Amino acid sequence: METNTCAAALLAELSQAKELLKELELNLHCLDLCKALTPRIASSIHNSFLMAESFSTKAGHDQSLFSSLALRPRTLTPRRRYVRTSHARSTARMVMEVRIICRKSLCSWRRQVRVSSVAGGVEGPGEDDGFIWRKYGQKEILGAKYPSSPRCRAYFRCAHRDSHSCPAKKQVQRSDNDPSVYDLTYHDNHTCLQHPGEEEEQGGANAMQRDQEQSTAAAQKLEGEEEFVGKIAPSFAPLEEEQFFIPSPYQFGGFDEAEGSLLPMEFDGDWEIGLDSI
DNA sequence: GTCATTTGACCTAC
DNA sequence: GTAGGTCAAATGAC
């Protein structure tokens, strides 16, 4: 594919993702619409990454996507940087927005859980999502609105982190707007349910069944008893800098329509615009 | 004795 | 320098 054609296709895909995200932002109050939009956005972003990856692989590092964005080296010092043209700037802004959205909306997500006043402490709802968590830290948070409440955020990781290398984590913090509401921020998905470890394999069907039951219970909890608020709204903070860098490899998530859940996937493409690491 | 939690220290990004 | 996130030794519960 010719360079300009590749760039145009990528820009079109990114534009579509941006439009879908705007639509999502406007309809955050409508859960059904959000659910419908999310896989379309994830698909569009995924396609963009695939395009960029194949583009980059085909054209080579310095002559790849970013040369088509009219990025030109200002200096050939060990930390090469690029000065962007206006066209490149708008394109780069789009890429950066997608990156922010990937990080904020797909790698992590947040929901709020209303609990009774009986439940005290920053742990709040505890293990009510059906997963087993281990607390590994607690931190005081500045500027909390309710000084009487525990002004801290508790950090939990999946209890199967060691045995299954499960990366799932969550943060629990009392909401500033309503002390009876806890903000739960999740990072990464559970892999322990999808990849049973050695002890389950040795233990046979019982352990597998237990995991499946736990998974089902968790799903029922998520759908039923708790108040789903939505994913973190994407941020579109204006870019002030003339230069920017995108780290690589970059971890982002994808929406599995069949599973109805967010799945982590590793992007290992070349997205170093600034070549900062050279 | 084992395991989970607590909490101060440390690390890293901004 | 500061704040957020993580580590790991100490502590407590069973």
Give the model's pLDDT for residue A49: 60
Residue with tokens 């040795």: A202
Task: Give Dmax over CA atoms of chain A in angstroms.
Answer: 64
- pLDDT tens digits, chain A, 278 residues: what are they? 445 565 666 667 777 777 777 777 677 767 777 667 776 776 666 666 666 655 544 444 333 333 333 333 333 333 333 333 444 444 444 444 444 444 444 456 666 555 544 444 444 444 456 678 888 888 887 654 443 344 678 888 888 877 777 888 888 887 766 666 777 788 777 777 644 444 444 443 444 444 444 444 443 443 333 433 333 333 222 222 222 222 222 333 333 333 333 333 333 333 333 333 32
CB within 7 A of strand C (chain A, 168-227): 169, 171
Give the model's pLDDT for residue A47: 65
**CA–C1' distance A157–C9 (Å)?**
19
Structural domain boundaries in chain A: 3-108+233-267, 126-223
**CA–C1' distance A136–B6 (Å)?**
9
- The beta strands (E) that lie in chain A are given as 72-73, 82-83, 108-114, 133-140, 152-158, 169-174, 181-187, 250-256, 261-267
Strand C nucleotides with an atom less than 7 Å from a protein beta carbon: 3-8
Residue with tokens 């970059």: A250
∠ CA A237-A242-A244, rounded to 5°: 70
**CA–C1' distance A141–C3 (Å)?**
9
How would you list the strands of the sheet with A181-187, edge to edge?
Answer: A108-114, A181-187, A169-174, A152-158, A133-140
> Amino acid identity of A229?
V
- 3-state class percentages of chain A: helix first, strand second, coil last, to nearest 5: 40, 20, 40
DSSP string covering A70-106: T-EES--SSS--EEPPHHHHHHHHHHHHHHHHIIIII
Closest nucleotide to the alpha carbon of A132, via C1': B4
Cis ω for the linkage preceding A264 (within 30 of 0): no
Strand B nucleotides with an atom less than 7 Å from a protein beta carbon: 4-9
Q: Is there contact between A133 and strand C, defined as CB under 7 Å from any strand atom?
A: no
Q: Is there contact between A134 and strand B, defined as CB under 7 Å from any strand atom?
A: yes
Give the model's pLDDT for residue A166: 80
**CA–C1' distance A274–B4 (Å)?**
45
Which letter does DSSP use for residue A273 in this model?
Answer: S
Residue with tokens 């799945």: A263
Which fold does the domain A126-223 belong to in CATH? Answer: N-terminal domain of TfIIb (2.20.25)
Q: Quote the CA–CA distance of A19 and A255 in Å, as a whole number.
A: 18
∠ CA A6-A84-A54, rounded to 5°: 25
